[in-house]
Amino acid sequence: MKLYFLILTDTELSYDNYSEDFAIGFFDSMDKAEKTAEYYLNNVTGFCKFPCTYRIIEKNLIGSEKNLKGIYIVQGWNINENLDEVDIIESQCFASECDALSELEIMKEKYPRDEWAFNYWTIGETEWKEGFCRWCNGEWAD
User: Tens digits of per-residue pLDDT, 51-61?
Assistant: 999 999 999 99
H helices of 9-96, where?
Answer: 30-43
Tell me which residue of 127, 115, 122 sits closest to 21, measured CA to CA. Answer: 127
Q: With 90 as the cut, is the pLDDT of residue 13 above it?
A: no
Q: What's the rounded mean pLDDT across residues 37-43? A: 95
Q: With 70 as the cut, is the pLDDT of residue 141 above it?
A: no
How far apart (Å, rounded) are the C-alpha atoms in residues 6 and 55?
6
- CB of 62 closer than 8 Å to CB of 95: yes
How far apart (Å, rounded) are the C-alpha atoms in residues 83 and 13?
14
Tell me which residue of 84, 75, 91 sits closest to 16, measured CA to CA. Answer: 84
Q: What are phi and psi of 57, to 5 degrees?
A: -105, 120
How far apart (Å, rounded) are the C-alpha atoms in residues 24 and 53?
12
pLDDT of residue 12: 87
Q: What's the rounded mean pLDDT across residues 86-106? A: 96
